[in-house]
Amino acid sequence: MQNKALYYETLHQGYGQYFEVENILFEQRTEQWHLSIFETQALGKVMALNGAIQTTERDEFIYHEMLTHVPLLAHGSAKRVLIIGGGDGGILREVVKHSSVEAITMVEIDAAVVEMCKSYFPAHSNGAYDDPRLNLVINDGLEYVRTATEKFDVIISDCTDPVGPGEVLFSSEFYEHCKRLLNDNGIFVAQNGVPFLQQDEISNTVRRMHSYVNDCTFYQAAVPTYIGGCMTFVWATDDVDAKQLPVAEITTRFKRAGLVTRYYTPALHQASFALPAYVQQLVASA
Ligand code: SAM
C-alpha cells in the first residue's frame, strides 16, 4: 500500500483530526493567512487557514444551512443581511436563496480566500457572487462595523476562531457595533466554536454580549469537520420570542421561501435551541 501524506489540524492542543491527502491543490501565504486547499477521499476538497480546518466539500451544507436559515426564517421578513467573513461563499449561497432579501453586504478580510474558493469550491458559492443584491467589501469586519451606518435585519458572522485576524469578531466592541447596526428585532448569529473543547468561547460571548441584547443564547448543529461534539452558534436579539416559533409556523415560512435543504428542517430548527446541561451551565455561570 502506498503511503499518503497526512494533514494534521493544529487547532486544539493534544487532540485533533488528520486527513489523508490525495492532492495538494493550493498552498500559499495570502495577505492574512497560510491558506491550504487539498483533496481527500473522506471529505472531498478541504480548506484550512493557519492550520485550522474551515470547510470541506462534503459537510459544508450543515454549517451553512444552519447559520443562515435559522435566523432568516425566525426573523420572517429580513430584507437586509450583513455577512461578516464567509469568504468560502457558502453563507452567501444560502442567503441568496431567500427572494425576500433585497440587499446583502458581505465583508471578508482576505480577497484571496474569495478567489481561491471560487476556483476550488465553486459549489460553495454556486454563482451567488454574481447576484445583483450583493455588495462585497474586502475589509476587516470590525473596521467595517465601526464606521457603518446602514441597518440590517440579520447579521451573520461566519468567522474563523478567536485567534489571529478572527479574534476581533469576538470582541465586545464588535458586538456593540453589530447591535447598533441591527434594525428593531434584528438577529445576530455567529459561529461560536465547539463548547466541549472551547468552553471559554461560550462564557466570553455571553459576558461580552448580554448587556447589548435582551436574549443571548446558543443553538447547535453537529458538523463532522468541527470535531469534539456539536458546534454552537450564538443567537443575539431583542426579540425574545424569535427562537420559540412553533414548528408549524417555521414550516409555513420554510415552504413559502421555497427552500430545498439537506440538513435544515423546521423541526431541527426548533430543536437546535435545546442545549445540553453542561452548555446551559456555561451560559448561566458566565
Ligand atoms: N466555518 C468556519 C469555521 O467554523 O471555522 C469559518 C469559515 S471561513 C469562511 C471564515 C472567514 O472569515 C474566512 O474567509 C476569513 O478570511 C474571514 N475572516 C476572519 N477574520 C476576519 C475579520 N476580522 N474580518 C472579516 N473576515 C474575517
Give the Å distance between the CA of 254 and the centre of ligand 1: 27
Write the single-letter amino acid at 187: I
Q: Do 226 and 29 contact (CB within 8 A), yes or no?
A: no
Q: Is 116 exposed, middle or buried (0-12, 13-18, 19+ CB in 10 A)?
A: buried
**Nearest atom (ligand 1) to Cα of 166:** 20
Q: Which residues have any ligand 1 atom within 6 Å of their CB?
A: 54-55, 63, 84-88, 107-110, 113, 140-142, 158-161, 165-166, 168-169, 191, 226
Please say if 158 is a catalytic residue. Answer: yes
Tally Cβ neighbours within 10 Å of residue 149: 6
The one-digit pLDDT tens for each residue of the chain (286 residues) are 568 899 999 999 999 999 999 999 999 999 999 999 999 999 999 999 999 999 999 999 999 999 999 999 999 999 999 999 999 999 999 999 999 999 999 999 999 999 999 999 999 999 999 999 999 999 999 999 999 999 999 999 999 999 999 999 999 999 999 999 999 999 999 999 999 999 999 999 999 999 999 999 999 999 999 999 999 999 999 999 999 999 999 999 999 999 999 999 999 999 999 999 999 999 999 8
Of the candidates 59, 110, 153, 158, the residue annotated as catalytic is: 158
Give the whole-angstrom CA distance, residue 251 versus residue 128.
25
Give the whole-angstrom CA distance, residue 64 versus residue 71.
12
- 255-259 — which CB contacts under 8 Å span 24+ positions? 257/72, 257/73, 257/97, 257/98, 257/99, 257/100, 258/99, 259/69, 259/97, 259/98
Q: What is the pLDDT of residue 283?
A: 95
Q: What is the pLDDT of residue 65?
A: 98
Q: What is the pLDDT of residue 3?
A: 80
Q: What is the pLDDT of residue 127?
A: 98
Q: Which of 164, 83, 74 is nearest to 129 (CA)?
A: 83
Residue bearing the CA closest to ligand 1, atom 7: 54
Give me 56's grid cell. 470541506
Strands 231-237 and 215-221: antiparallel
